[in-house]
Structure 1
Amino acid sequence: MSNYQHALLVDSHAHLDGKQFADDLDETIDRATSYGISNILTIGCDIESSKRSISIAEKYEQIFAAVGVHPHDAKEINTESLKILGSMLRHPKVVALGEIGLDFYRDRSPRDIQRSAFRKQIQLAKEMGKPIIIHDRDAHEEVIQILREENSSEVGGVLHCFSGDLRMARQCLDLGFYLSFTGTITYPKNEEIRDIIKAIPIERILVETDCPYLSPQKFRGKRNEPAYVRYTAEKIAEIKKLSIDNVAQITSRNCHDLFGFGHMDL
């Protein structure tokens, strides 16, 4: 029996298909359950990782998958890969298209190719009726512009690991999107992101790990994992002056409203 049965959380963004979990995935998932994590959404970054994410979701009842091509791999997007993604999106455990977006920090794909891949995948999501999971790094204005121009509000979605300012946060909320936060909100110098959390309604917030990356302060420099989403939720509870139970219930409800899964103890 979980020690956290009254405050079940969802890790809304994990990368369980990576080599970092190859040797202990079962144990990692068991640990998440013992920390009161009811569900995990594992996210594809290219066609192959999307396939692996579906396989993991098929194996574990509490895990769901998202499929998509990350801006780093935007060159993968063509007629054939879009057809493959469309087929994957019909899988009963695939709940979203992502992660997709723009990354002008690393610029691993030319920016015009990133923009095109982003737009084409939003169009596919609309065609398939699936929400989108957005990666945005140093591309805030263009991400908002493309979301508007492609009428992405028709399907909605989430800005994962939100890194914009309060103005951008409000623009995202106006578009009907959720904002998701990681363990980085526990870093001492991240006061600006904590101020954003304070200013926006919790009814539009999701919690995530982005594991194996972005461990909370307590585990900084070590592998992140779904169990640690609890530390992000606890920080949000502190910022919002709510109980951890409140944060767990509301963020899980938010996840259910967006993706169609999540513990519903309300």
Structure 2
Amino acid sequence: MSHKKTRRIDPLTLALPSGGADSHAHLDGIEFDADREDVLRRAKAAGLDRIGNVFLGPEDFAVRKSMFDGHPEVFFLLGIHPCDGMRCTRQSLAEMRAAFAAAPRLRAVGEIGLDYHWKNCPKELQIKAFVSQLAMARELGMPVALHCREAEDETLCILESRGFQGYPLLWHCFTGGPALADHILGNGWHISLPGPVTYTANEELRKAVARIPADRLLLETDCPYLPPLPWRGSRNEPAFTVFTAHALALARDASPEEVWRTCGDNARRFFGLF
């Protein structure tokens, strides 16, 4: 049986005006070693003027931050991923505090949280790492970029029991439905939408998108993961946010330009980039 081949569309044919922001990317990964500069050029040509690169631990930050010395449009996030919770030690927390004190391009603690899909790290270590980094974020007065996978109830319980209602927190890579979106929004947090909002089967996600207030909505790639249609199954990159913006616009009965500009402004405001 033959399968219809997906037609790849050049994102630059859907380029939007300058002002867009990819709030969550992993451009320091080996997946971009061969063409990182080309990827960054395509991002700019697509209309992105801000990209948040997420470093997964102080060692990665120390070694890889220089990759972006020539790219002031890239700002940084730093945190220990829940799957690496065993690496969250007193020393690593001290190193992160020092990094935040010395590097003004660091704009948030993240991605941190809980991930019960993968079995890389025991739950008790994930929780300990999460709670420790939440305390550090509050101590430093830094926003939080949250990772949550198959752990929504416990994540919400931890955040709410520690008084994070109203704290600047971005629920990264949201793929839930209206009920979860309402709970997040009720706590005063922001929501970031990745490429899967473009997938045909994700109707509940698009219903959630329609009810997110305009001032709480951000765009992201989480590249190299989670590419939008029509690039599903390939490496994701920041320029592909144009496809996500078009899908959000359709779900919200708005223009792609309006969504693009609003999400970009929200990212600049959330991360203090103005």
- TM-score category (smaller protein): over 0.9
Within a 5 Å distance, the mapping from 1:96-111 to structure 2 comes to 96-111=108-123
Q: CA deviation at 1:132?
A: 0.5
**Alignment partner, residue 200 of structure 2:** 188
Greater Cα radius of gyration, structure 1 or 2: 2
Q: Does 1:120 align with 2:132?
A: yes
Q: Write out aligned runs for 1:67-86 (5 A).
A: 67-86=78-97
Unaligned runs of 5+ in 1: none
Matched residue count: 261
**TM-score, normalising length: structure 1:** 0.93
Relative to structure 1, is the Cα distance of residues 105 and 39 closer, same or farther in structure 2, using a 3 angstrom cutoff?
A: same
Q: In structure 2, how many angstroms separate the alpha carbons of the residues matched to 1:78 and 1:167?
A: 35
Deviations, residues 54-105 of structure 1 (Å, cap 9, x unaligned): 3334331100000000001000111110001111122110000000000001
- Once residues 238 and 268 of structure 2 are traced to their aligned partners in structure 1, the CA distance between those partners, rounded to angstroms, is 18
The root-mean-square deviation of aligned C-alpha atoms, in Å, is 1.7
Q: CA deviation at 1:222?
A: 0.8
Cα separation, partners in 2 of 1:132 and 1:44, compared to 1, 3 Å: same
8 Å contact from structure 2 (residues 52, 77) kept in 1:
yes
The aligned counterpart of 2:31 is 20
* TM superposition shift of 1:134: 0.5
**Counterpart residue number, 2:143:** 131
How far the C-alpha of 1:179 sits from its partner, in A, is 0.6
TM-score normalized with structure 2 length: 0.90
Q: Would you say the 8 A contact 2:22–2:51 is kept in 1?
A: yes
Structure 2 segments unaligned to the other structure (5+ residues): 1-11
| Contact map agreement 2:20 2:261 (CA 8 A) in 1 | yes
Query: Partner letter of residue 245 of structure 1?
Result: E
- CA offset digits 1:94-124 (Å, max 9, x no partner): 0000000000011210001000100100000
Farther off after superposition, 247-256 or 9-18: 247-256
Q: Percent identity?
A: 34
State how far apart, in whole Å, the 2-side matches of 1:170 and 1:51 are.
38
Query: What whole-Å deviation, never above 9, does each CA across 1:168-218 have from its counterpart, x for those lacking one?
Result: 211211222111111101111111101100122122111000000001110
Inter-partner Cα distance in structure 1 for 2:212 and 2:120: 32
Measured at CA, do residues 36 and 245 of structure 1 come closer, stay the same or move farther in structure 2, by a change above 3 Å?
same
Alignment correspondent of 2:177: 165
Alignment partner of 1:250 out of 262, 265, 270: 262
